Structure formats: structure tokens, C-alpha cells
Structure 1
Amino acid sequence: MLGCVLFTAMHLYALNIAPIETWTFRILHIAGGLMVGFAITAAMSVDPEGGAGKGSRPAGLERLAALITALASGYAGACALALWGLSEGPGVAVTNWLPLHLAVALAIASVAGVVSSWCFPSRGDRIHWPDLALMVSALVVAAFLIFVLGRWRMAAGTPLVGTPELLVSASGVLLIMELTRRIAGLALIAITSVFLLYAFAGPYLPGILEHDGYTAKRFFTYLYTDSGVLGPTTAVSSTYIILFITFAAFLQASKVGDYFVNFAFAVAGRSRGGPAKVAVFASGLMGMINGTSAGNVVATGSLTIPLMKRVGYHPLSAGGIEAAASTGGQIVPPIMGAGAFIMAEITGIPYTEIAFAALIPAALYFLAIYLMVDLEARRDGMQGLPKDQLPLVTEMLKRVYLFLPIIILITTLFMGYSVIRAGTLAMASAAVVSWLTPHWMGPKALLRALELGARMSVPLIAVCACAGIIVGVISLTGVGARFASMLLGLADTSHFLALFFAMCISILLGMGMPTTAAYAVAASVVAPGLQQIGISPLVSHFFVFYYAVLSAITPPVALAGYAAAAISNTNALKTAATSFKFGLAAFIVPFMFFYSPELLMQGTWWAILRVAITAGIGIYLLAAALQGYFLAAPANLLQRVVLGAAALAMISGGLVTDVIGLGLGAAIWGVQRWRHKSAGTLPS
């Protein structure tokens, strides 16, 4: 699709060659994302199994709706052209009737297009007429905002705005929410709607939720500033997210991504539970790049879940492992599923410092999943795949140069190159190394990769813009500061209680939301409160970020678990609970950030090394407790309880607790050895 190619190419050109003014670039980014999104998504695509489009529909009513929508969108487009054609240029004040006519026609076209897309969904593959009207509306919103940009910067969110500005900004918010509904489902829309209602219901609410309220003009125009939709979330999606999603598209189009999976199969496929260990590696690597837990489950799980089931893993375990591993990809540096870039944008902490700080926590997370996988395979006597069904290691090593894009990315980042330049070089290297393979990327393949990049970016662009709406409400109403004061009050009683409350809010805000949006919202509500009680910005934001990520495997609303359940043909809630079990270690790690900042590379090398080693031992003890298998023998219920206590002691980070944890672990080992020796069944 030409539009997708142009959309991606515009971003790469602006990011690397000729920068576009910041607000203009973000406005074009959202408008382009909306247009591509409405072009490639069916009106009711959230429920592909539902009854949308079935049965008869009144042809006369549809023709009338189409006529009204077409006239309104056409008139809005004509007014936009007239504004540009009759004036001296963008930013020049227009005092005639055109802005009002444009805004009214735009509002009618947007509402009619959205309602018509619900009532008259498409039955074919071509762009449906309501979606075409919504594409025109998105373009008109961008044209109007760019035209009045100089005045918009100063007047938006103040009493100086008029009816045209209200209607245009409200139409923009409606378009963003409709595309988000189609792509991400109703969870994010429900939360956004609650925040929108809160902006107007504040004067009638009690306690910390109360505020003075706002007029519709001030509220909706404020949302379309750099404090809302055009703020940090869109800043990240218009730069880092689209860049690295396109990088992932290049890896996919060049088949370099397939090599990563095949390499993992060649190395680990024959070991106990080999396919599960491959899932841990491949899902973590690809999840780091593509920025969406559920999407990564679908991409890699379609291969790994059936193979896990084949070697003996229960379908629930297969789905849970894939969901936990894919979710963990969001915390793997250097990309962290775009989370590192948003954190850098919000906190001002250098990106490289954030990526460096994430190394140990990410290693602990994947160590926990790997150990859970290995212990389950030991306990159930599983084997790996036969040699003849796996790629040869020697053949894989001959093509080890296909790792060059990842190596170039990491090397250039730590050499001091900008993130954008490093990502662009890595993307170009993916195309170059493909020339050494049968999947040579020529002009057609490059265009397909650019198109795929746009298609893969649209979901994240939509949710980032929708998260920007929530961030704008939080910024305008000051509810984040009120939550901060509440956490401050809790901290007077117990820091642990304050952290536990912050964890619950972060998970609750993130449930059902993509990781990027979940972190952006939680960072606005929770992180300021943690900073007020004396926790450093780095620790506060990592704490919030981890729980926003883990909401994807937290029942009852666990998107990654649900996606895995669809592939493994298991109960969605049980699969989510299993993924929660495999990722349980990660729920403990953020508390360690507070009690042991060394885990985030804050401190001396000796202290960092000691905490990392003891935490790693604690992770093993926790995995053994959860799986009921310690060292080389099963563990009974009492032993599992003691192992769990030992794990918590080791993970807490203190010297005394480390000694206690080691002592408890050694005691269980001694008991097991004595029992098996007495029974003559001592494991080898």
C-alpha cells in the first residue's frame, strides 16, 4: 500500500535528513497513523468472530448516512483547502466564516463516520465509505491545527479559544479513540472514558478526587497540546517506536528474525524442554524490539507453543511460558519495547543510563523463567526434539553474521551515537546482510518492509495517542499530585505499604492496556508520589514500569496470557494464571530496587556483584518452590514453603537475610540427601 510506504518514509526522512518542526511533525504523525489505521482496519475488527456485518441492513438508511457523511467530509475538506488557498500562509489569523464552517462540517463527518462504521460495517476488502470519511476527517484536523499552529500554541487550553477550536480538537479525540477501540479493544477506551468523565464530574466528587471543573473549550483544546496528545507519548511513538518497529519489519522481511529462532533451536532444541527454552530466548529478543507483549506471543508462539506441547509440556504451561517470556521482552535492554525511550523522555535521565540499569533485572527475570522451564522438564522427565528435526549448529554458525544488526545496534548505542542514528544503521544493516542470503532485499522487498513497518506501527501510535489523552487529563486536573500526597501519607506509616499500594495502582491502570500506554499512564499517576516519599526518579520509574509491563500477565485481565491461550487452545483465565506463576519472580524484583538500588547499577561494583549473585540464588530457590523440584529431587509441601521463605530472604538484599536464605536452602538440600540416602534412591 503506497500510503503505508510514504508514511514510514516520511518519518525516516524527517528523523535522519530534514527535521520537521516538533508540533507539526507530531500532528502529521497522528494524522498519518489515523489515516493508515482507518484504511487497514475494519470498523468492527476488535470482534472478528462476532456478528458485525451479518444479516440484512436497510439500504435506504445506509444511502442516507453515506450521503450526509460524504457531504460533511467533502465540505470540511473544501473549507480546509480554502483556508490554505485564500490566506497568506499557515499561522495567519483568519477572521472570516471558514474556520467555523470547517469545524462544524468536520464534527458532523467524524460523528457520522464513526456511527456509520458501527451500523454499516464493511463486507469486503476495499476501504469502506465510513472509513474513507474518517480518513478525510483526520487529514482536516491536521490541516487546521497546522494552519493555526502559532495561535494554537498560545491559546489552547485557555479561555481564548472559540467554537471552531473546540470542535476540531474534540473531533481529533474522537478519531483517536475510535481507532484505538478497533485495534486495542475496549479496556483502554473504558479507562480513557473514565478520565474524560472525571474532568467534568470533578466538582461533584469527594476527597482527593475533587476539582473545580473545566469548560469543554478549555478541556478539549488542552488535550491537543504537548501536555496531552502531542506530549511525551506521541513524542516517543513518532520517533523511537516507529523507527524500531520498522527495524523489526526489516528483520522480518529479510528473514533475519527467523534466523534468531532457528539459531536458538539449534543450540537448545535437544536439551530438556528445548522448545520452551527456545521460546524464552526468541520471545525475549523479539519482544524487546516490537514493543507489544500480546503481539509477540502471536508472532513467536505460533511456532513455539505447538513444539512445547509436542515434547511433553502441558498446554497451560506452554501458553504460560510463551506469555511470560514475551512479556519479559519489554524489560530487555537496549530497546525495552520502547519503554526506555518513554522513561528517558519523561525523566530526563540519559537513555544509555536507563538501558544499563535494566541489565540485572532483565537477567533475573529470564533466569527465573529459564529455571522454571528446566525444573518442570526435570520433574516430568521431558526430552528435547530429535536431532533430525533441528537445524544444524554448524550451519547456523556459518550464518552468524546475521546477528550483525543487533550487534551494530548495541555497539553504536554504547559508542555514543544517538538512538535514532543507531536504529537507522541497524535497520540498514538488516537489509545489507540479507544480500548474503537467499532472501535478498531488493527494491520491492524494501518497499514491503516499509509498508509492514507502517502496519505494525499503527497499533502503538493509536494507543500512545490515546494514552496522551489520559496524561492530559491527569496534568490538567492535578489528580496525580493528589495520589502523590496520599502515598506520602502512607509512607509515614510504612514505606512497604506505600510501595505495595503503588504496585496495585500500576497493575490496575495497566490491565488490558498495551505496555506503552500502561507505563505512560502509571508514570503520570504513581511515579510522582514515589519521588515525593524520597525514592529517586530512576528507581520510581523502574518500579512503575515493571508493574505496568507485568499487567500483561496479571489475572484477571492478562492480554499476553489470553493471546497464548488462543494458540494453545486452553482456558484463557487458567493460562493467564500459569503465565503469572512463570513470571512471579518479576513481581518481587521491583521491591528490590528500593531496598537494593545496586540492582539498577547504583553503587560500587562489589555491592552490585554481591546483590546480583544472591538475588540469582534466591530466584533459583523461588523457582524450586513453585515447581516442587529442588536440585535433582522432588520437594514436598513443607520443603516448598521453606524454599519460598529462603528465596524471599535471599532476594531482600541484606547480608543477614542472605545468610538466613543460604542456611535454609542448605538445610533442605541436607534433608533431601539424607532421605534419599536412607531410601537408597540418592539421585546421581
Structure 2
Amino acid sequence: MSHNTDQDPNGLKDDALAGSSTPESIADGVDEEVVEPNRRLFVGWQFLLFAALAIAYSGFHLFSLNVYPMETWSFRIVHIAGALILGYGLFAGARFAEDAQQASPAWLKWVSYALLVPAVYALVQVFLMQQTINGGAMRIDPTIETLHFGYPLMATTAVAIVLSWFYRQERHRFNAADLVLMVCALASAGYLLMAFNTTMRMSTGTSFAPPGISWAAIAGSLLILELTRRVAGLALVVISAVFLTYVFAGPYLPGFLGYPGLSIQRFFSQVYTDAGILGPTTAVSSTYIILFIIFAAFLQASKVGDYFVNFAFAAAGRARGGPAKVAIFASGLMGMINGTSAGNVVSTGSLTIPLMKKVGYPARSAGAIEAAASTGGQIMPPIMGAGAFIMAEVTGIPYTEIAIAAVIPAILYFASIYFMVDFEAARKGMRGMRKDEIPLFSKLVKQVYLFAPIIILIVALFMGYSVIRAGTLATASAAVVSWISPNKMGLRAILRALQLAGTMSIQIIAVCACAGLIVGVISLTGVGARFSSLLLGLAGVSQLLALFFAMLISILLGMGMPTTAAYAVAASVVAPGLINIGIEPLIAHFFVFYFAVVSAITPPVALASYAAAGISGDNPMGTSVASFKIGLAAFIVPFMFFYSPAMLMEGSAMQILRVGLTATLGIVLLSGMVQKWFFGPVNVIQRVVMLVGALFLIYGGIYTDIAGLAIGTVLFVMQRKQHGGKGKIANAT
């Protein structure tokens, strides 16, 4: 990257530059692919093989979604199986060996190769069973399913997973244990495809279900959990394990958590259906999410990310604390598309965090600002990090309604971060970047056509095109627009984008499938209904108390999880309870969605903050506390959805306008209170008054708005008198 990371402790001195000419570009490499620590980097024929698999995987989805649709369950099974095969090929289960001496002993390799025998045997049995069904049989002999398919598949899957934890090799090498897991994924998916395309599908969840479905589902669930551990860490796996334990321990639990219980066969024969793993989360990952990952990969291949960041620097870089304001703009744009807060921090934060430190922000503040801004990208319409699509799938509310409803809350969130940043810059006397440190706006504005794919996407959606058709149009337009840009996409670049999309999709697909496992437990055991009754009881005492409890559960369930999984799980547990206490479905789901999103910056497990701390060099827990403060508005605004539905565009135009304007003024007061600055320093009493005024204005009632405006006016007059207009809310260089 072409930026200088030397710090200026006071943020006021001009650094000596090698030359005084304006740089053409300050961002270089934002679109570079982020390579995870456990991702294999193949060379030679292995690289070509896995590149071809990734391209075929992305191409399969584009073809199925736009040209020749598959039967729904079959499509979702292939979708998950493809991600498992690619995932086990590309992501190792243990740390890499630095050289051949640290590699695993030879016996481990030979034991792994030996496991290929039962794995291939189970796969062959699937073909033989398929022939039996094709020959007119209604069912397979349970003994064959268990002894010749179930036992070999289960044993091989479990042993190969354990072996893979100890299998250390150099980064460019593949190992036999993961090859075994790839074969097991094929065998599990093959059996399910065969069974679910016959009358056996009707018996799932009953004592008459073929045992083979349960064996395939158990093996498939283990494979999903292990891949999730490799690509997303242990948090989601541990939560899944707790829920799975509940399935069989539930009958022995006291109070509202107890339930009659399910047998292993009944549970697993149904969890790998649309009641669980193949349900709403996989429905969204196999359609909208994979499509928008392909869209993001095309934007990445045409270097649009670099342009977004350069544009942000040109537009906001000279304002006081400029790089922080750039982080807000750039991270909002990038986070909206890429659908993961921590991933967005890594891509844009590697540029913005060092530059924030350079103009005077402490390492902690720099990391916290980037984490809060990247998290905000998940609530930024129209894409909302794919959260909008899951919400539409779960609630049945049209996508366009959800995108419109998200506008005011997103403005409030980003306004909050903007004023937090601005007031901190004013309090610490920071400068902006000099004219010769940022690209010329007049040059960049000539390439504004690079925003065309996103504009086409928005226009197509609001013209009534389906999400799939709009996403495909936007993807195609990204390639076309690149032909008039410096980074033209030829056939090689398009194939590279498809390969990148196949690789990028593995994490989110694994996470969605794992979240589907949890959703399956919730729906099949009825634990969600018991949480609903608990919320209903609390609402009898106080609706605010019920909302507060719902907030805590949503954050707790979301900790350590990517946005889509966090929302899917929280929506299954918490949203039905909120709807039962009389809250509109849209408001209930937005409430849950916001807290699932901000779990990424909520201590003690704050993935986005931890990623930012890794770049800034500060303490992770300190950074997460600081990002929590900066994103404070996101913890207050959702409560106002209930008290003031106009915030979600529900009401008359005048109501919506009034609530939007007064809430924005409330956000300014809230930011001033946190940063101890308005037009100048504020004392403790003024901060308390500012907090009261902010809450009145954000609340949205007519009388509270009048009271909040009165408080704001008094504070304005007091500050102007006290500081004589020396401080300014507006940007200063």
C-alpha cells in the first residue's frame, strides 16, 4: 500500500514529503484478497484444480439461479456439499508447518489414506442404493443403510476430523485426512439427494424415517461444524454444541427449559430438511448471499474498492480528523457489500487506521472508529450485508420495504459516528490531511461511473425486478463498466472473479448452514416458544424490561458470530416473543437485527474490534470498549423503533420527517455528551443535560421533541457565550 504509517503524536505538524505533487491514488490494495492464516496456497496442478472447482461452483449458482432452476432441496444440498468440498480443500484443520521437519509423522498420512477405503465404500453404497431405487424399490433395507453406509460414513467422518486437527503440513500441500472428508461430504450429500427425491422424504421426523437419512444428516452436521470451526472460529460451534446438547438433555431440565425430548433418529432425520439446515439460512445463502458475493468479487476484480476509498479521501480527507471520516464513508460502502464486519475492518482498516494515527488519533480510537464504521456497513441499505435478504425470507415482508425502513436508522448510526469523530478531533486539535496528501477530487469525479453497478442494483430493485435478476444485472454491469475504466475485465479477470467468489463464499455458507442447525434445534424442540412465553411474562411487568431482556439475548447469541448467522439465530429465539407481546413483525425483526449486528463491537467478544486492535496495535478489550462507546447510538435507536415507528418509515410523511430531523439532532447531543465537547469543552452537569436532551429528541414523541429542542437551544446559547464561537461543529481543516 502506498500510505505512510509514521505517526505525528500531536497531529499538528506537517510531515516532510518526498515530493509536493498531489498523489494519483492513496488507496492501493483495498481490493487485494485477504488470505486467512489457515488457507492453503496451492501451486501447479493443485492450484488449477481448486481454481476450476471454485469457478464451477460460482458458475453453477449463476446458471441455476438464472437459467435452469433445480428442485429446491436438491439445490440447497448441492450448495452446502460444494462449499464443504471446496472448504476442506482450501482450509486446513491445524496450523501449517514452517518447513518439512515440522510436518506430521508418516504414520498419520498412511492412517488417513487407509480411511479412504471406508469413505469410498460408503460413496459406492450410495450409487448401489440409487440403482436399487431406480429398479422400482420403495425403500432400502435398513441393515444395508446402517451396516454398509451409516457405520462406515460416521466412523470415517469422526476419525478423519480428529486426525485433521493434528495433521501439519506446509502451506502449499494438501493432506489425505481432508481428502477423506471431501469424499464423506460427497457420500452424505449423495444419499440425501437420493432419499429426498423419493417418497422417503415424507417420512422425515417420524419413527418410520429410513436410518440412512439420520446417518447422512449426522455426518453432514459434523462436517458443517468442523468447517465452521476452520473458517469462523469456535464461538458458533460451541453455541451449536450447547443447542444440540439441549435436544437430548432437555427432558431432564427443570422449569420452562424442559420438553418431552426427541430420539436421535427423529431429530437428525428432520434437522437436515427445511426445518433446519436446509431452511431459511441456507435458502438465503444459496440465492441472495452467493449472488452478492459474486457481485462483490466482480467489483473487487475491477478495483472498485480502491476507487471507493480514494473517492472518500478526496471528499473528506481535508476535514479535521480526515482519515477517520474517510473510514466512516469507505467502510460503510465496503461493509454494505461484503457482509462481514471483521472482514471489512481488515480490508479498509489496513489503510485508514495507520492514517488516523498519523493525524493524531490514539491507536485505541483509530481501531474503535474503524470497527464501528465497518459494523455500520451491515445496517446500510440497500444490501445491508445480506441481512435484508434473510429478514425478507424469514418475515415475508417485501425486500424493498425492509431497505426503505433501514434508511433513517442507518443515517442516525453513521451521523453518530461522524459527530463522535468530529468532536474528538476538535477536542484534541487535530488537523485534516493536506491538499498534497490526498487525490484530487476533480480527477476522481471523472470516474464516478464506477458507482454505476450499485446504482443499477438499487434502481432495478425498486423497479420491481427480483433480487436475483437485479443482482445478476449489477454483476454484469460491473464487468461492462470496467471496460471504460483503467482496470478492464477480460475473460481471465472474469474467471478470476468467479474463483474469488467461490473462495469468499465458503465462510458465509458454512456459517449459514451451522446457524440452520441451531434454527432446527429451536424449531424442533420448541425452545423459541418458551422464550416467547418468558418475554410475555416480563412484558406484563414492563414492556421496556422485556425489550431490554430481548436486547441482552440478541447480543449474547450474536457474540463471536458473523452478522447473518447472528441475526438468523436471534430471529428464531427472540423475534417471535417480541411479536407475541404486541410488537409489529418489521419492528421486532429490526430490533433483533440491530443488536445481532452490534454484537461485533460489544465486549467481551467483539470480532470487529479485535480485528481492528490487531491492526492498530492496541489492547483488544480496550478497543472493544471504545468502539462500544462510539457505536452507542446503535444501542439506543432500536428501542425507539417500538416507541416511534416513524423511524422505520411507518407513518405520515410529516411524522417521518420530524422524527428523522429531531433524532439526528439528538444524535449530535449524544455524541457531544460522550466526547465531552460541543462548541467547546462541556462540564459534568452539561453532559447530564445533553444526555437527557438527546434521549428526548431520539424518543420521537411530539412533547419530548419540544423539550429536547428547548434543552438543545439552551446548551447552544450557553456554549456560544462560553466559548465565543472558537469551536465549530462544522468541519475544519
How far has the Cα of 1:52 moved from its partner? 13
Aligned to 2:702: 655
| Equivalent residue in structure 2 for 1:347, among 388, 395, 400 | 395
1:17 to 2:60 alignment: no
4+ aligned runs moved over 4 Å, structure 1: 50-58, 89-92, 681-684
How far has the Cα of 1:141 moved from its partner? 1.0
Aligned to 1:390: 438
Q: Are the structure 2 counterparts of residues 91 and 595 from structure 1 closer, same or farther at C-alpha, using a change threshold of 3 Å?
A: farther
* 1:52-85 residue CA offsets vs partner (Å, 9 max, x unmatched): 999575433x145224311111212222233345
Q: Are the structure 2 counterparts of residues 628 and 54 from structure 1 closer, same or farther at C-alpha, using a change threshold of 3 Å?
A: farther
Q: Contact (CA 8 Å) 1:551, 1:558: kept in 2 or not?
A: yes
Aligned to 2:82: 32
Q: In the TM superposition, what are the counterparts of 1:65-214 in structure 2 within 5 Å?
A: 65-85=111-131, 87-88=133-134, 93-95=139-141, 98-100=144-146, 101-149=148-196, 150-214=198-262
Q: How far apart are the structure 2 equivalents of 1:91 and 1:468?
A: 32
* 1:222-254 residue CA offsets vs partner (Å, 9 max, x unmatched): 110101000000000000000001111110011
Aligned to 1:613: 661
Q: Contact (CA 8 Å) 2:232, 2:561: kept in 1 or not?
A: yes
How far has the Cα of 1:267 moved from its partner? 1.0
* 1:247-283 residue CA offsets vs partner (Å, 9 max, x unmatched): 1111001112211111111111111111111110111
Q: How far apart are the structure 2 equivalents of 1:11 and 1:90?
A: 32
Aligned to 2:677: 629
| Equivalent residue in structure 1 for 2:715, among 668, 671, 676 | 668
Aligned to 1:157, what secondary structure does the other structure show? coil
How far has the Cα of 1:469 moved from its partner? 0.4
* 1:586-621 residue CA offsets vs partner (Å, 9 max, x unmatched): 111101100000011100000010111110000000
Q: Contact (CA 8 Å) 2:336, 2:380: kept in 1 or not?
A: yes
Q: How far apart are the structure 2 equivalents of 1:148 and 1:230?
A: 14
| Farther off after superposition, 668-677 or 491-500 | 668-677
How far has the Cα of 1:152 moved from its partner? 4.2
Q: How far apart are the structure 2 equivalents of 1:319 and 1:586?
A: 18
* 1:71-104 residue CA offsets vs partner (Å, 9 max, x unmatched): 1112122222333455527996334865331222
In structure 1, what residue type is equivalent to 2:719? Q
Aligned to 1:573: 621
How far has the Cα of 1:394 moved from its partner? 1.2
Q: How far apart are the structure 1 equivalents of 2:298 and 2:137?
A: 39
Q: Are the structure 2 counterparts of residues 89 and 350 from structure 1 closer, same or farther at C-alpha, using a change threshold of 3 Å?
A: farther
How far has the Cα of 1:532 moved from its partner? 0.5
Q: How far apart are the structure 1 equivalents of 2:180 and 2:268?
A: 22
Aligned to 2:313: 265
Q: Percent identity?
A: 60
| Equivalent residue in structure 2 for 1:467, among 501, 510, 515 | 515
Q: How far apart are the structure 2 equivalents of 1:258 and 1:152?
A: 52
Q: In the TM superposition, what are the counterparts of 1:55-66 in structure 2 within 5 Å?
A: 57-60=104-107, 62-66=108-112
How far has the Cα of 1:672 moved from its partner? 2.7
Aligned to 1:634, what secondary structure does the other structure show? coil
Q: Contact (CA 8 Å) 1:91, 1:148: kept in 2 or not?
A: no
| Farther off after superposition, 266-275 or 422-431 | 266-275
Q: Are the structure 2 counterparts of residues 289 and 470 from structure 1 closer, same or farther at C-alpha, using a change threshold of 3 Å?
A: same
Aligned to 2:590: 542
Q: Are the structure 2 counterparts of residues 356 and 111 from structure 1 closer, same or farther at C-alpha, using a change threshold of 3 Å?
A: same
Q: Are the structure 2 counterparts of residues 52 and 633 from structure 1 closer, same or farther at C-alpha, using a change threshold of 3 Å?
A: farther
Q: In the TM superposition, what are the counterparts of 1:128-527 in structure 2 within 5 Å?
A: 128-149=175-196, 150-527=198-575
Q: With structure 2 as the length reference, what TM-score do the two structures score?
A: 0.90
Q: Contact (CA 8 Å) 2:332, 2:380: kept in 1 or not?
A: yes
In structure 1, what residue type is equivalent to 2:179? L
Aligned length: 676
Q: How far apart are the structure 2 equivalents of 1:28 and 1:207?
A: 41
* 1:8-47 residue CA offsets vs partner (Å, 9 max, x unmatched): 00000000111010000000000001111111101126xx
Q: Contact (CA 8 Å) 2:103, 2:168: kept in 1 or not?
A: no
Aligned to 2:10: none
Q: How far apart are the structure 1 equivalents of 2:136 and 2:219?
A: 21
Q: How far apart are the structure 1 equivalents of 2:715 and 2:199?
A: 71
Q: How far apart are the structure 1 equivalents of 2:103 and 2:310?
A: 49
Gaps of 5+ in 2: 1-50, 729-733
How far has the Cα of 1:436 moved from its partner? 0.9
Q: How far apart are the structure 2 equivalents of 1:54 and 1:177?
A: 31
Q: Contact (CA 8 Å) 1:266, 1:392: kept in 2 or not?
A: yes
* 1:482-517 residue CA offsets vs partner (Å, 9 max, x unmatched): 111111111111110110010011001111111111
Q: Contact (CA 8 Å) 1:347, 1:537: kept in 2 or not?
A: yes
Q: Contact (CA 8 Å) 1:90, 1:147: kept in 2 or not?
A: no
Q: Contact (CA 8 Å) 1:145, 1:152: kept in 2 or not?
A: no
How far has the Cα of 1:682 moved from its partner? 5.7
Q: How far apart are the structure 2 equivalents of 1:518 and 1:494?
A: 26
| Farther off after superposition, 383-392 or 8-17 | 383-392
Q: Are the structure 2 counterparts of residues 434 and 91 from structure 1 closer, same or farther at C-alpha, using a change threshold of 3 Å?
A: farther
* 1:381-407 residue CA offsets vs partner (Å, 9 max, x unmatched): 111222222111111111111110011
Q: Contact (CA 8 Å) 2:285, 2:508: kept in 1 or not?
A: yes
Q: How far apart are the structure 1 equivalents of 2:262 and 2:531?
A: 20
Q: Are the structure 2 counterparts of residues 539 and 96 from structure 1 closer, same or farther at C-alpha, using a change threshold of 3 Å?
A: closer
Q: How far apart are the structure 2 equivalents of 1:198 and 1:503?
A: 22
| Farther off after superposition, 376-385 or 417-426 | 376-385
Q: Are the structure 2 counterparts of residues 652 and 170 from structure 1 closer, same or farther at C-alpha, using a change threshold of 3 Å?
A: same
Q: How far apart are the structure 2 equivalents of 1:474 and 1:121?
A: 37
Q: How far apart are the structure 2 equivalents of 1:260 and 1:91?
A: 59
| Equivalent residue in structure 2 for 1:2, among 45, 52, 56 | 52
Q: How far apart are the structure 2 equivalents of 1:92 and 1:390?
A: 71
In structure 2, what residue type is equivalent to 1:536? E
Pairwise CA RMSD: 1.9
How far has the Cα of 1:153 moved from its partner? 2.4
Gaps of 5+ in 1: none
Q: With structure 1 as the length reference, what TM-score do the two structures score?
A: 0.96
Q: Are the structure 2 counterparts of residues 601 and 14 from structure 1 closer, same or farther at C-alpha, using a change threshold of 3 Å?
A: same
Q: How far apart are the structure 2 equivalents of 1:581 and 1:90?
A: 65
Q: How far apart are the structure 1 equivalents of 2:337 and 2:695?
A: 32
Q: Are the structure 2 counterparts of residues 624 and 68 from structure 1 closer, same or farther at C-alpha, using a change threshold of 3 Å?
A: same
How far has the Cα of 1:219 moved from its partner? 1.1
Q: Are the structure 2 counterparts of residues 54 and 386 from structure 1 closer, same or farther at C-alpha, using a change threshold of 3 Å?
A: farther
Q: How far apart are the structure 2 equivalents of 1:187 and 1:592?
A: 30
Q: Are the structure 2 counterparts of residues 547 and 683 from structure 1 closer, same or farther at C-alpha, using a change threshold of 3 Å?
A: closer
Aligned to 1:560: 608
Q: Contact (CA 8 Å) 2:109, 2:175: kept in 1 or not?
A: no
